[in-house]
C-alpha cells in the first residue's frame, strides 16, 4: 500500500490556514471514507517535494522529461518558485529550445513545429 501523492500536500494546507472550511471538510470526508487515507493522515507525514523529475506532454512538441526544483522565499511561505530544466542535448532540451524560439520570434505555429519535428 503506497501513500498517494495527494496526502502530504493535503496535510500542509490546513497548517497554513486552519480555518479553511473547504479543506477541513475534504479531509474529514476522506478520513471517513478511506481507511488508507486516515492511516496516512494519522502518521503526520508532512513534506513537500522540493525536487525531482516530471514527464510532460506538450500539444505541439510531444513528450518532455524535465528536472525541477522548488524554492520558497523565507519571508513568504505561500509563494513557491518552480524551476524546470532539461538535460543538455536531450530531445526534451531541443523541444524546449524550439518552444523558446517561438516566443522570441512570434512564430509559434503548428507549421513551424511540423517543419522542425516532421
How does residue 101 score in pLDDT terms, banded at 50, 70 and 90? confident
Strands (E), the chain: 51-58, 62-71, 81-85
**pTM flag (> 0.95):** no
**Which pLDDT score is estimated for 38?**
86
Apex 38 CA angle, 37 and 42, nearest 5: 115
**13-29: per-residue pLDDT in tens?**
555 566 788 888 988 99
pLDDT (mean) for 88-117: 77
14 within 8 A of 41, measured Cβ to Cβ: no
Amino acid at each position: 500500500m503506497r501513500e498517494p501523492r495527494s496526502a502530504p500536500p493535503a496535510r500542509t494546507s490546513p497548517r497554513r490556514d486552519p480555518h479553511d472550511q473547504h479543506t477541513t471538510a475534504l479531509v474529514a470526508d476522506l478520513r471517513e471514507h478511506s481507511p488508507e487515507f486516515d492511516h496516512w493522515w494519522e502518521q503526520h507525514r508532512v513534506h513537500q517535494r522540493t525536487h525531482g523529475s516530471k514527464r510532460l506532454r506538450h500539444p505541439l512538441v510531444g513528450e518532455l522529461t524535465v528536472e525541477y526544483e522548488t524554492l520558497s522565499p523565507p519571508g513568504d511561505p505561500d509563494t513557491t518558485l518552480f524551476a524546470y530544466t532539461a538535460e543538455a542535448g536531450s530531445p526534451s532540451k531541443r523541444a524546449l529550445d524550439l518552444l523558446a524560439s517561438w516566443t522570441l520570434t512570434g512564430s509559434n505555429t503548428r507549421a513551424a513545429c511540423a517543419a522542425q519535428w516532421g
